[in-house]
């Protein structure tokens, strides 16, 4: 437990500076994003979507859903839409809002590989990582 506590004296050095920035950004997102507000009719769904990967979907009324895909060990991949938690919705697709591998969070960023096809959206992880996605309308051809 003591190793998990934040040591404020270490916040100026790596990797602690990046982890603190990641936490601050997540807290700011929680405060401003309507899908994360606690309102009547909100839904939360969790599903195991890979060998080492969880999907956490949050949706509130009148707002597009958010999906956090968290890979806990390298070498996993996820095909979005295979489970109800990872389906964006009718006439929608997922778009990446944020990853835990963004520059500034880690000293050696390595974002997951995203394969966005016409019918499938896949995420390939080469290391532990979290990806936040938002459902957006499909472009009309």
Question: How does pLDDT run across 34-92, given as a tens digit for each residue?
Answer: 888 777 888 899 999 999 999 999 988 888 899 999 999 999 999 999 999 999 988 89
Task: Compute the mean pLDDT over every residue in the chain, rounded to the nearest whole number.
Answer: 88
Whole-number Å distance between alpha carbons of 100 and 123: 14
Q: What angle do CA 49, 55, 57 make, to 5 degrees?
A: 140
Phi, psi of 117, rounded to the nearest 5 degrees: -100, -175
pLDDT of the residue at 6? 66
- Of residues 46 and 5, more confidence is placed in 46
In this prediction, residues 29-34 reach a mean pLDDT of: 88
CA–CA dist 131, 123 (Å, integer):
9
Output the pLDDT for position 1: 61
Asked if the model's pLDDT at residue 141 lies above 80, the reply is no
Domains along the sequence of the chain with CATH: 11-137 (2.60.40.1180)
Residue 41, classed as helix, strand or coil, is coil
pTM for the full predicted model:
0.85
Contact 101, 83 (CB under 8 A): no
């Amino acid at each position: 437990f003591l190793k998990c506590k934040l040591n404020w004296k270490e916040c100026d050095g790596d990797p602690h500076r990046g982890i603190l920035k990641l936490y601050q950004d997540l807290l700011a997102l929680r405060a401003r994003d309507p899908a994360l507000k606690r309102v009547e009719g909100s839904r939360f769904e969790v599903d195991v979507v890979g060998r080492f990967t969880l999907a956490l979907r949050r949706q509130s009324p009148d707002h597009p859903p958010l999906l956090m895909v968290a890979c806990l060990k390298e070498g996993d991949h996820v095909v979005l839409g295979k489970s109800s938690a990872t389906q964006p919705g009718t006439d929608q697709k997922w778009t990446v809002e944020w990853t835990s591998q963004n520059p500034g969070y880690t000293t050696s960023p390595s974002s997951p590989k995203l394969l966005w096809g016409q019918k499938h959206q896949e995420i390939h992880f080469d290391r532990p990582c979290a990806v936040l996605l938002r459902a957006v309308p499909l472009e009309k051809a």
